[in-house]
Structure 1
Amino acid sequence: MSLRSDLASVLLADTAAVRSKLDAISQTYGFALSDETASQSPEPYFDALDFTLSSRDKELIARVQQLDNAPLGITLTGPAYQDTPILYSNKTFRSWVQYELAELCGNNPRLLQGPKTSDEPRADFREALSIWEPVTVEIHNYRNDGTVFTNRVSLTPIPDESGTIANWVAIQAPID
């Protein structure tokens, strides 16, 4: 497996398997798990959302928080029918894009697109969202200061307990 797929597996795992997956990933890839979930909740940032988070959303957010120090960026979004709002992005991702969590929460990841973002990867995202399938694309994104970077994004659907796709996770890294 790869770091990308291992990180996504944490969000796809049942609750009982999460701790062992987190520990294995941090040991295999050499990064510390964040203990921030115990000391700081992102709750103030949720005021930007125009809907109430489910207990499943909160559980997934807590998982991503523990991966704040992962070497890849992780962004958790809500469902496509709500325009896939960002629910949480790990610190690694936020440092790359130079956005604070409060600036990201509630916004669609299109926030990172701009004039040099080509249509092809956007079309690939739209198709994946419409057919509930994973996709990996390279896309030109923009940091908060306006600088362009090429981002390799692996988008994975996350089903809820009933099997319905309720969230999406993007595992990403700048490649230039």
Structure 2
Amino acid sequence: MADRDTLADLLRLDDERFRERVPETLASDEYDAERLRRLASDDPPPDPPGESGSLATHEGAYVRRIRVLDDASLGITLTGPAYADNPVVYANRTFRELTGYALADLRGENLRLLQGPDTDPEPVADLREALSTWSRVTTELTNYRADGTPFRNRVSLVPVTDAAGSVVNWLGFQQAVDETSE
């Protein structure tokens, strides 16, 4: 299974290296390598409905790459920009299935919508601090699905920077964790 750091590094590669590395990186996840090569080719899947022209160039590239990874074993989100309260730009299918939210319900929302009455403030503070200091973080917290069902979620945030080194977006990786295995 590809881990969070591997997927983050993969998403940040230039186009040619991304196309080369996707099949080999995800081979252990039993992906169809030829399907991945086609998805990662020069003819990326079209933008999701309602997105054409509405994303910054770098966001469109990340969205296309995350769509290639729609069935990755981890939920993947692209949020930002930070100054606008980190709204969801895209969430892969794995994330949507994990949380029960449709993409239309997530777009433009902050992922705080996953918090609820039993969400511990300490990991939330860790996430907030990482956002304010532009640093990576991994933490676990109780989140809630669209139907109100709680689940333990291991969340990693990875900053996406521009050429000047400013954080312009955030990659999020989410995975339900079994509380009995902690």
> Is the TM-score greater than 0.5?
yes
Give the letter aligned to residue 3 of structure 1: D
For the residue of structure 1 that corresponds to 2:63, the secondary structure is helix
Name which of structure 1's ranges 59-68 and 19-28 shifts more when overlaid on structure 2: 19-28
Shift of 1:39: 5.1
- Which string of whole-angstrom CA distances, capped at 9 and with x for unpartnered residues, describes residues 43-100 of structure 1? 32x49xxxx4211110110010000010111111112111011011110110010111
1:42 and 2:48 matched: yes
- Which string of whole-angstrom CA distances, capped at 9 and with x for unpartnered residues, describes residues 113-144 of structure 1? 11111100110011000110000000110000
Please give the alpha-carbon distance, in whole angstroms, between the structure 2 residues aligned to 1:73 and 1:19: 20
Structure with bigger gyration radius? 2
Across the aligned residues of Structure 1 and Structure 2, the Cα RMSD in angstroms comes to: 2.3
Please give the alpha-carbon distance, in whole angstroms, between the structure 2 residues aligned to 1:174 and 1:132: 24
Name which of structure 1's ranges 1-10 and 100-109 shifts more when overlaid on structure 2: 1-10
Which of 1 and 2 has higher RCO (CA within 8 Å, sep 6+)? 1
For the residue of structure 2 that corresponds to 1:106, the secondary structure is coil
Kept after mapping to 1: 8 A contact 2:116/2:143:
yes
Shift of 1:2: 5.4
In the comparison of the two structures, how many residue pairs are matched? 172
**1:26-105 to 2 correspondence within 5 Å?**
26-32=26-32, 33=36, 35=39, 38=44, 40-44=46-50, 46=51, 52-105=54-107
Structure 1 outlier segments of 4+, above 3 Å: 32-40
For the residue of structure 1 that corresponds to 2:170, the secondary structure is strand
Please give the alpha-carbon distance, in whole angstroms, between the structure 2 residues aligned to 1:163 and 1:28: 33
Please give the alpha-carbon distance, in whole angstroms, between the structure 1 residues aligned to 2:117 and 2:144: 9
Unaligned runs of 5+ in 2: none
Unaligned runs of 5+ in 1: none
Q: Equivalent pairs: percent with the same residue?
A: 44
Please give the alpha-carbon distance, in whole angstroms, between the structure 1 residues aligned to 2:55 and 2:174: 24
